[in-house]
Chains A and B, each alone.
Chain A
Amino acid sequence: MKPAQFTYHRPASLAEALALLRTHGSSAKSLAGGQSLGPMLNMRLARPDHLVDLNDLIELDSVRVSDDMVEIGALTRHHRVANAPELRRSLPLLSAAAASIGHYAIRQRGTIGGSLAHADPAAQLPLIAVTLGASLVIAGLQGTRNVVAADFLQSIMTVDLRDGELITALRFPLPVGGFWAFEHFSRRHGDFAIVSVALNFAQDADGKIDALRLGLGGVDTVPLRLPEIEARAQGRPADEDTIRELAAATASAIAPEDSAQVPASYRRRLAETLVIRAFQSALNREEGA
């Protein structure tokens, strides 16, 4: 398990990195934390002729919280996303999900931009980006463009990123409500989840659910938001009956496929259970806080 030959590039600036990616086009891969690309290179699932190492672009390792938005540089490591106090305050759902990625040593290297670019359908950060309506800032030699996460993620490991482009940042709108939860299930601690659920909502003065955002990972080729379930929850009391009804409706709304190890029916039941758990943990946390 050794990578095939490649030419190694270590650009010192974003401009230099973009020029290298433009020059080498589809024969180049950009290397951030390397926690997904590394195994793919070792197993020769990826065999780029050119590897462009982004790790010196430390200006992309950044967190900026403003009045209406949080901007996180693409090279920000999962460990920082999980632990930075300003992120735990402003985007606790994102921090909690980041804290569950892989393992401690993996989180020291893996990056938020890398996770989005890799686009594993079971990964945490693409799910949170879709659930919270984040957008990506993508740089090319011609300039930058913004793409919302739900459009950026096209299919399994397939994203709207052209040759010569790099993700430079993610922008998260500040969540509307203080209720949030990330629930996931995997057979071994640290594995990719079979199904994961992220939710965020507010409660109005009467304790009714307001502005629910509900996202599911592992049930399709990309993380899904479920607008019909969100609409159904609007104005309903956050009680046991409502939660069970929304969970059952979620299980009916998704169409997972059978895979070698996991039948679709199991994913559907898991989704139902995890939606219930997510509501419960969101409500319990808020009461305790």
Chain B
Amino acid sequence: MNAHKPEPLTLSLSVNGQTYDLQVPARKLLSDVLREDLGLTGTHVGCEHGVCGACTVLIDGRPARACLTFAAQMEGHDITTIEAVGRPDALSVLQQALHEEHGLQCGFCTPGIVMTFEHYLRENPAPTADEVRDVLSGNLCRCTGYQNIVAAVLKAAARMRGEAA
């Protein structure tokens, strides 16, 4: 058992290009700090043990589970959340494709899916449907049945390559 209560840590976090100074306990998950301390509630918390993918953010440009990361670890790293992707009146290519293909219903899993594929499509601009499914397997969606998400990712990839309208 823990006999001691450690003091909160003073941290400086870089999120979406902005620097935040805050005090948080060492054990506080990045997902909770984003939502509770920074008010960035677009990052959703589902399972809190890395399975569902809803809390996926980018750490130094690469997708990672915010629920398996402590905010204390993130000093000196750049975090990108869904708030930095598109705007309501100017969706990203991937967001627009998800909208058109009905790639979401309740939307709970969508931020994690967008963050995952915003990176993946940069790494692999011309994925096959099987490759998209392999990557998508890390994000649970209970509404769509995934077909429309796969279609949307392929459509977004084609548009980013300049091959589809």
Binding site for B on A (CB under 8 A): 1-8, 10, 31, 34-35, 38-39, 41-43, 47, 49, 51, 53, 55, 79, 102-106, 108-109, 188-190
Determine whether the beta carbon of B134 is less than 8 Å from that of A189.
Answer: yes
| Contact for B68 among A4, A10, A38, A47, CB less than 8 A | A38
For A102, what are the chain B residues with a Cβ–Cβ distance below 8 Å? Answer: 138
| Contact for A5 among B25, B64, B70, B72, CB less than 8 A | B25
- Closest chain-A Cβ to B72's Cβ sits at a distance in Å of 5
Determine whether the beta carbon of A190 is less than 8 Å from that of B137.
Answer: yes
Determine whether the beta carbon of B49 is less than 8 Å from that of A5.
Answer: no
Determine whether the beta carbon of A8 is less than 8 Å from that of B70.
Answer: yes
Determine whether the beta carbon of B73 is less than 8 Å from that of A55.
Answer: yes
Give the size range of B's interface with the partner.
35 or more
Write the chain A residue with the least CB distance to B51.
A39
Binding site for A on B (CB under 8 A): 1-6, 9, 25-27, 29, 32, 48-50, 53, 56, 59, 62-65, 67-70, 72-73, 116, 120, 133-135, 137-139
Determine whether the beta carbon of B2 is less than 8 Å from that of A105.
Answer: no
Determine whether the beta carbon of B27 is less than 8 Å from that of A2.
Answer: yes
| Contact for B27 among A6, A34, A109, CB less than 8 A | A6
- Closest chain-B Cβ to A184's Cβ sits at a distance in Å of 14
Determine whether the beta carbon of A3 is less than 8 Å from that of B27.
Answer: yes
What are 9 A-B contacts with C-beta separation under 8 Å? A2-B32, A6-B27, A38-B67, A39-B50, A42-B67, A49-B4, A104-B135, A105-B65, A106-B138
Determine whether the beta carbon of A38 is less than 8 Å from that of B50.
Answer: yes
Determine whether the beta carbon of A39 is less than 8 Å from that of B49.
Answer: yes
For A104, what are the chain B residues with a Cβ–Cβ distance below 8 Å? Answer: 63, 116, 120, 134-135, 138
For B138, what are the chain A residues with a Cβ–Cβ distance below 8 Å? Answer: 102-106, 190
For B2, what are the chain A residues with a Cβ–Cβ distance below 8 Å? Answer: 4-6, 47, 49
For A105, what are the chain B residues with a Cβ–Cβ distance below 8 Å? Answer: 53, 56, 63-65, 116, 138
Write the chain A residue with the least CB distance to B5.
A5
- Alpha-carbon distance between A189 and B120 when the two chains are bound, in angstroms: 18
| Contact for B62 among A10, A31, A108, CB less than 8 A | A108
